[in-house]
Amino acid sequence: MLVKKPPCIKSSEITDKKLYMNRRQFIVGSTALVTSGLIHSSSFQETEEKSKQKLKVAKRGEHMVKEKVTSFDEATSYTNFYEFSTGKRSVKKLSQSFRTRPWTLSVEGEVKQPKKFDIEELIHMFPLEERVYRWRCVEAWSMVIPWIGFSLAGFIKKCEPTSKAKYVEFTTLYDPDQMPGLSAPVLDWPYVEGLRMDEAMHPLALVAVGMYDELLPNQNGAPIRLVIPWKYGFKSIKSTVKVRFVQKMPKSSWVRKKPEEYGFFGNVNPNVDHPRWTQATERRIGEEGRRKTPMFNGYADQVSQLYTGMNLRKFY
């Protein structure tokens, strides 16, 4: 067989990229049927390719934070995702083979009709927006991340909840074969979170499918997660598989596990310390020193009206 080096190849002889990719997908798909080992290999390769896929953003800059953006490396290397590990620097490595395709998001409960959405269908259903949010973890560290996604309110409208729906409950995937952290009794798995309906309908609440112009990396909650920027990170549930509309306040995982430390609302309130550390200041990842923590994570002007008349020390 004659193998031509690049200088010898005419442009007319180069295989069209679309044709090449179709052939490649056929070969991968056919070969994957041979052994389970190859199935895992091809799935991992596809996951790697998808994680680098650029997202077309329809609108940029809404709800932007006027602060320096955390580096992509830091934002994807220092993460909380206990289904894989409680070690923030360990999650990235342990989640690399996590399969995010195919993926289905189920809608249940107080809705006109139960639904199931394919992840690709969701990504193309709404115009994607970039929103640069200050994102804060309850352990008093923070980042500024350009998330990409669509409004939670828009998604909820597609779900067609009934008038009986007062809360929205979200559930993370439970898959011990892929998620080694599930073997540890950190929480009662699967992970469950919830929002009041008016919180979920607020324009700041985002369904994220990407960050930094790319699809969500596995360690950051691929393929679909919430970002609720005025709340602590544990409210922004990752790798979501189920949304349920309910009449009563959901019993979220951290509330069940440690009610004396974690409340249902999870709002950033620097005046209420966690029993084991102060929340009056925070450490910005990638910076030295600490800075003051702003009320509602800096979004008080936008969201404080949601909690008018509430005792924010009691309802934390």
pLDDT digits (tens, 9 = 90+) for 58-100: 988 667 788 999 999 999 999 999 999 999 999 999 999 999 9
- pLDDT, residue 49, reads 52
Neighbours of 42 (CB within 10 A): 16
pLDDT at 191 over 80: yes
pLDDT digits (tens, 9 = 90+) for 250-306: 999 999 999 999 999 999 999 999 999 999 999 999 999 999 999 999 999 999 999
User: How is domain 52-259 classified at the CATH fold level?
Assistant: Sulfite Oxidase; Chain A, domain 2 (3.90.420)
3-state secondary structure string across 108-156: EECECCCEEEEHHHHHHHCCCEEEEEEEEECCCEEEEEEEEEEEHHHHH
CA distances from 282 to 79, 219, 291 (A): 16, 22, 5
pLDDT digits (tens, 9 = 90+) for 127-142: 999 999 999 999 999 9
SS3 246: strand
- Residues 170/240, Cβ–Cβ less than 8 Å: yes
Extents of the domains making up the chain: 52-259
Q: What is the pTM of this model?
A: 0.83
Residue 209's closest CA among 122, 302, 102? 122
Residue 236's closest CA among 214, 259, 272, 268? 268
How much is the average pLDDT of 205-232? 97
